[in-house]
Amino acid sequence: MERQASVLLEVCVDSIQSAVNAEAGGANRLELCQALSEGGLTPSAGLLAVVKKAVSIPVFVLVRPRRGDFFYSDPEVEAMEIDIERLSEADGFVFGALKADGSVNESICRRLLAKSDGKPCVFHRAFDVSSGDAILVAKQIAALGFVRLLTSGRAKTAVEGIETIRKLLRESSGNLVIMPGSGVNPGNASIFASVGCEQVHASCKRPVGSAMVFRNECCAMGDEGEDEYTRFVTEGDIVKEIVNALR
C-alpha cells in the first residue's frame, strides 16, 4: 500500500507570538482569532496585518463578534459583513450562524459568503451545537458553498466525537473537507490520520509566564481568579510533534 501524504495541520492562534511559533513548528495554515479563552473572536485589523507580515502560510480569519451562541442579531451580522470587508488581507474566513431552533441560518451564511469576494469560507463549530442529522447538515453547509467544516463531531472533544467524524468523512458531500478540532494533541493526532482526515485543527498551546519583573498580583484585569502573568501561547515543539504524528 502506498504511503499516504501528510495530513495538513491548521493551528488556531490569538497572538503574534503564537502565529510565529506555529509557522516555525511546521503548521500549514493559521486560523487567526482574538481571545481563544472565549472560543475565539474576530481579530483586530492590526493583529491581522502584523501576522500576515510575520508569516508566509495562509491566514484564515475567524468572524465572530462576541462570545456565546451563534444566534445573531441583524446589527451583529452587519458587523460581521464589515469585518469581512475590512479584514481583506485574510486568505479566507471562518464563521457560522444558527437559528434559535438549532438549524443553520442559510440567509445569514449567504450574506457573509457574498462578502467574502470568492475567498474560501469555513463553517466552524456552530455545527457542533446545531440540530438535525449531522450528515444532512454537512450536506447543507457544502451546498451553501463552504469549502470546509471545523468540527468536534458534536462532542466535547474530537476524540470523543470520532464516530461522527468518521461518518462525516464517509458520507458528507464530496467537496466539503471535514477538519476535526477540539482537544487535538500530539498524543491523539494520529487517530485522525488513521480514520482518513486530510486536515486537522489544534491550538498547540501551553501556559507561558510573563517577562514582567515588577508585579502587582492583586490587580486582575479580567475575570476573577485569572492569572494575569500567565498566557497560553502556541509552542513550536507541540506543533512539530503533531506534524510528526500526522505523517
Please report, as residue ranges, which positions from 49 to 78 form the binding site for a copy of itself (by CB under 8 A).
49-50, 54, 65-69, 71, 73, 75-76, 78
Nearer to a copy of itself, 27 or 126 (CB): 126
Helix (H) / strand (E) element for 215: namely none
By CB under 8 A, is residue 37 in contact with a copy of itself? yes
Pairing of strands 199-202, 205-209: unpaired
222 binds a copy of itself (CB under 8 A): yes
How many binding residues for a copy of itself (CB under 8 A)? 71
Work out which of 15, 105, 116, 188 binds a copy of itself, going by CB under 8 A: 15
Q: Using the rule CB under 8 A, is 40 a contact of a copy of itself?
A: yes
Query: Binder to a copy of itself among 2, 174, 212, 225 (CB under 8 A)?
Result: 212
Contact 246, 6 (CB under 8 A): yes
Helix locations, the chain, DSSP H: 16-25, 45-54, 74-86, 106-115, 134-144, 162-171, 189-194, 236-245
- d(CA 58, CA 92) in angstroms, rounded, equals 8
Is 4 a residue that touches a copy of itself (CB under 8 A)?
no
Q: Report the residue from 135, 147, 155, 191 that binds a copy of itself according to the rule CB under 8 A.
A: 155
Give the end-to-end CA distance of the chain in Å, rounded to a whole number: 15
Q: Counting beta carbons within 10 angstroms of the beta carbon of residue 63, is it exposed (0 to 12), middle (13 to 18) or buried (19 or more)?
A: buried
Q: Quick check: helix, strand or coil at residue 68? A: coil
| Contact indicator for 204, 11 with CB cutoff of 8 Å | yes
Shortest Cβ distance from residue 94 to a copy of itself (Å)? Answer: 12
In the block, cell 469581512 appears at: 84
Asked if 72 and 65 touch (Cβ cutoff 8 Å), the reply is: yes
Q: Which is nearer to a copy of itself, 63 or 239 (CB)?
A: 63
Report d(CA 136, CA 54) in Å as an integer. 40
**Closest CB to a copy of itself among 71 and 240?**
71
Binding mask 104-143 for a copy of itself (x = CB under 8 A): ---------------------x--xxxx------------
Question: Is there binding between residue 79 and a copy of itself (CB under 8 A)?
Answer: yes
**Is residue 214 a contact residue for a copy of itself (CB under 8 A)?**
yes
Residues 158-197 binding a copy of itself (CB under 8 A) are none
**Binding pattern for the stretch 17-36 against a copy of itself, x by CB under 8 A and - elsewhere:** x----------------xxx
Contact status: 98 vs a copy of itself (CB under 8 A): yes
